[in-house]
Structures are given as structure tokens and as C-alpha cells.
Amino acid sequence: MKQPNLATEIDMFGRMIIALEEIEACREFVALIPEVRTNMVFAQPHAKTPDEVMAVEGRITIINGMPRAAGRVRFGASGHMARLIIELMKTDPSVRAGIDFANPSGFSDWLSDYCTKQGWVSAMIDRRAEPAEIRLAGSSMQWKAAEAVRVAGGRIPKIICDAGGPGKEPVCILVGNEPIGVAQDLCEIARTSAQSLK
């Protein structure tokens, strides 16, 4: 793992802690935590491996009806989400942060409308189109990232959703330049959807 300079590491750690505080204060987000739980990632500039991506150890779960980080923030705490962000950074190196969340039945239609109102690019990908050899090679997240960029016409979508597949829970991912903005955007989605979908 390439060590970031101390100032970069302190900045990254501070932003992740503030972002986690946003998430943990958002009761409405509980409804969007998937069965596999949520992780939030923040990559070093020019990251090439998951060891260069900061994430939440043990992911974000639900404790006493509120979102809670299960462990500490550290480099190398994510595999799947880290690989997705690294792949997206090949298209735009400034997109270094992301968080995944549940895509319950009917939610993606609402979310697509929400993205349109916000002026965000979104992409729905079909996991059934993923080649078997990609799944077997453990490269699903790289494929998912590349497919999202393809569906969005060469741009990185702000929101990437899929409807799941065999053994795969339907999830969405929100990405951005840094985790505080990502957390704020996701909490706004959670609060607005909780009101809209009542």
C-alpha cells in the first residue's frame, strides 16, 4: 500500500468521521440499509488497490433503530466497494467516495425521478448481463462500474442501481468527490423518500 502523506491521511480520516456522524444521525436511512449492510469508502488520490481505500470496518449496521458503524474507519476495510470506486476513478479521478444502500421494490423508479429533479445522472444496470467468467473471476464490481459508465454514455453516474441477480441483493450506490457530500446527499434521499413513499 502506498502511504499517503500525513496531511492527506488526517484530512481523509476527518472527512470520513464527519460523514459517519451524518449517517448515524439519519434515522430514515435505516430503511435503506441492505441485508448485506452498508459501506462507505474514500480512496486516496490515484488509488490502485483496496488497501489505498478507507472504509468502515464491519460496515454500517442498525443498532437500537439507528444506523451505526460496526467498527473503526481504516484503509483496506472494504473489498467490493473499494474495487468499484477504483474502477470509476479510471474514468474520473476526482470521484473518490461512495456509499451503497438498499434498492427495495419500487424504489428505483422513485429514485430515478428524484435524480432527474436534482439534475443528477443515474444508471440502472442489469446484473443478468454480467458474463459468468467475470463473476467467477471475482471482478463483478469492476464490471458493474464499467457497465454503469457505459449505460450513462461515458459519464460517471451520481447514482448506480441494479435490480439484483442470482444470490445478489438489489442495491444502489451514490458516488462523489468526498464522503461528507456523499453522506449529506444520501441522508436527503432517505428523508425525502421516507416522506414520499408513505
Q: Kindly report, residue by residue over 126-137, the tens digit of the pLDDT.
A: 877 766 666 655
| Structural domains of the chain, ranges and CATH numbers in brackets | 6-196 (3.40.225.10)
Q: Is 81 helix (H, G, I), strand (E, B) or coil?
A: helix
Specify burial of residue 159 (Cβ count, 10 A radius: 0-12, 13-18, 19+): buried
Q: β-strand 171-176 against 97-102: which pairing, if any?
A: antiparallel
User: In this structure, what are the phi and psi dihedrals at residue 134, rounded to the nearest 5 degrees?
Assistant: -65, -45
pLDDT per position as a tens digit, 156-184:
999 999 987 767 789 999 999 999 999 99
pLDDT tens, per residue, the chain with 198 residues:
555 688 889 999 999 999 999 999 999 999 999 999 999 999 999 999 999 999 999 999 999 999 999 999 999 999 889 999 999 999 999 999 999 999 998 899 999 999 999 999 999 998 777 666 666 555 688 888 989 999 999 999 999 999 877 677 899 999 999 999 999 999 999 999 998 866
The owner of cell 459508465 is 149
Coil, helix or strand for 180? helix
